[in-house]
Copies of this chain bind each other. A is one copy, B any other.
Amino acid sequence: MNADTLPRPAPETIALLRAELSGHLGARVTTSQAVLEQHSHGEGLPAVAVPDLVVFPESNEEVALVLALCNAHRVAVTPFGAGSSLEGQVVALAGGVSLDMSRFNKMLDVSPESLDCRVQAGVTREALNAQIRDTGLFFPVDPGANASIGGMASTRASGTNAVRYGTMRENILGLTVVTPAGHIVRTGSRARKSAAGLDLTHLYVGSEGTLGVITEIQLKLYGLPEATIAAVCQFVSLEGAVAAVVTALQSNLKMARIELLDEVQMRAAINYSKLDYAEAPTLFLEFHGSPNGVREDAEMMQAITAEHGGGAFDFAERAEDRSRLWKARHNSYQAVRALSPGKSNMGTDACVPISALPACLLQTKADIVASGLTAPIVGHVGDGNFHLGILFDPNDAEETERAEALAFRTARRAIAMGGTCSGEHGVGLHKLVHMQTEHGEGVALMQAVKNALDPNGIMNPGKMYPSPTSFP
């Protein structure tokens, strides 16, 4: 861990800050040990650091007040959404304030006419979709976990639908952000596109709380598709499944979802979600469009998969069958953990150009076998994005190190193939070691932007920007 950017605040500073904050926010400033511990870590990684205070703001003005006070005291602020991030983004490395955004839970505006909405950052994606269901619209970005929209914006999240609908990057029209000095700034507009000025919106999307706090998000929405077909296709080999995906993408075939599960992930899914399939490499597919259009697309894909050793499509035509299928896919993380009760799941992801996907997946698979670890592969392969769920015992230092080493090599392999160390989980603590390798001199530009927008370095210190000593 790399917490040398900002020292932990002195107890008297925290006492003073706490008194000032409590004067404005009352009981929404807490030092309850249970709450502090709940805010000390995200999912999956052993990394833990306990904040000094947890604060629950309810308005932009309260966020501005908290940030301005912390900035004046040089106390770290680490934004906290649903706590579902997998790379340690929410760990309060330098102590200070964990800024819990869960009370930012209001839909501010929905426009079915313009196919957009504005939500507060703490609204979760499931809550959003539940609230707009009767408009016939939906928000497609779907990272599996019921993450907050603010957290998804901050980590540039994506998920199963990205091959068709894009990631958070493509689906955010504008933001409200609060700067470390306490200014409330609206970025972007409600227009679908703009050429007017620096793209502040996309500077904050994926900045993982290191430049300020995202408090509101203007999102694109989509009409529910007229027709939907989902299907499962099982393969003799991983090579065949990947080759089918690459061929389909190159054929310009429109898919809404194309998910790969290797035979280990299938074993986990079969056990956990009671699926009636073989333990073999498998594609979960979905097509959205007009009734004839989706049928044509599915037939074309069936022809492609058959050429690569895929079996007959098992169609999930009814909404409840589709929902069961995608629920099983979404429960991958828990299903992997259930393979070895007591072990943790180090979820890591990487993303490569489509042409590199077959070699990357096969080399990674061989590496997993050689490591002696259990690490199912599952991926949004339509984007070249895949995940390992590396099982490890956090109390076993050797196994933890072996898991870390496997995750490290997976990232470096993806970078070497022209890809990225993370397609959707973000940098957090765990990928910091790859930033210099992936971005080279770009790291200095990122640091310059960080210094310009957070001159005191209070925002989520120790993340994203590698200090010169944090990598070889």
Contacts and interface: CB of A to CB of B under 8 A. Distances in A.
Interface of A: 111-116, 155-158, 162, 166-167, 169-170, 179, 183-187, 189-200, 202-203, 205-207, 222-226, 246, 249-252, 254, 289-290, 292-293, 296-297, 300, 351-356, 383-385, 414-415, 418-427, 431, 434-435, 438-446, 448-453, 464
Contact of A113 (B354, B441, B464): B354
Copies in the complex: 2
Nearest to A383: B192
Given A194-B422, A206-B198, A222-B252, A445 B293 contact: no
Given A193-B162, A419-B189, A246 B200 contact: no
Interface centre among A197, A225, A418, A452, by most B CB within 10 Å? A197
Nearest to A198: B446
A114 B358 CA distance: 12
A75 B384 CA distance: 44
A116 B353 contact: yes
A130 to B, nearest CB: 20
Given A114-B355, A192-B353, 7 more contacts: A112-B250, A169-B202, A186-B439, A196-B426, A196-B439, A203-B203, A289-B293
A223 B250 contact: yes
Interface centre among A114, A170, A193, A414, by most B CB within 10 Å? A193
A452 B418 CA distance: 28
Given A356-B114, A435-B196, A453 B449 contact: yes
Given A190-B419, A445-B179, A155 B195 contact: yes
A469 to B, nearest CB: 18
Contacts of A446: 197-198, 200
A427 B353 contact: no
A203 B197 CA distance: 10
A440 B293 contact: no
A464 B200 CA distance: 13
B184 A113 contact: no
Given A113-B355, A351-B193, A353-B191, A449 B222 contact: no
A292 B438 CA distance: 44
Contacts of A162: 193
A113 B250 contact: yes
A296 B222 CA distance: 19
A166 B354 CA distance: 20
A192 to B, nearest CB: 5
B353 A111 contact: yes
A250 B222 CA distance: 8
7 contacts: A113-B355, A116-B353, A156-B193, A167-B193, A185-B445, A190-B419, A196-B421
A191 to B, nearest CB: 4
Contacts of A385: 191-193
Contacts of A289: 254, 293
B198 A203 contact: yes
A169 B355 CA distance: 23
Interface centre among A156, A158, A199, by most B CB within 10 Å? A199
A312 to B, nearest CB: 22
Contacts of A202: 169, 199, 202-203
A114 B113 CA distance: 36
Contacts of A434: 196
A447 B136 CA distance: 41
Nearest to A352: B191
Nearest to A205: B199
Given A222-B252, A246-B113, A195 B426 contact: yes
Contacts of A251: 223
A225 B13 CA distance: 63
Nearest to A292: B292
A195 B435 CA distance: 11
A352 B199 CA distance: 17
B193 A445 contact: no
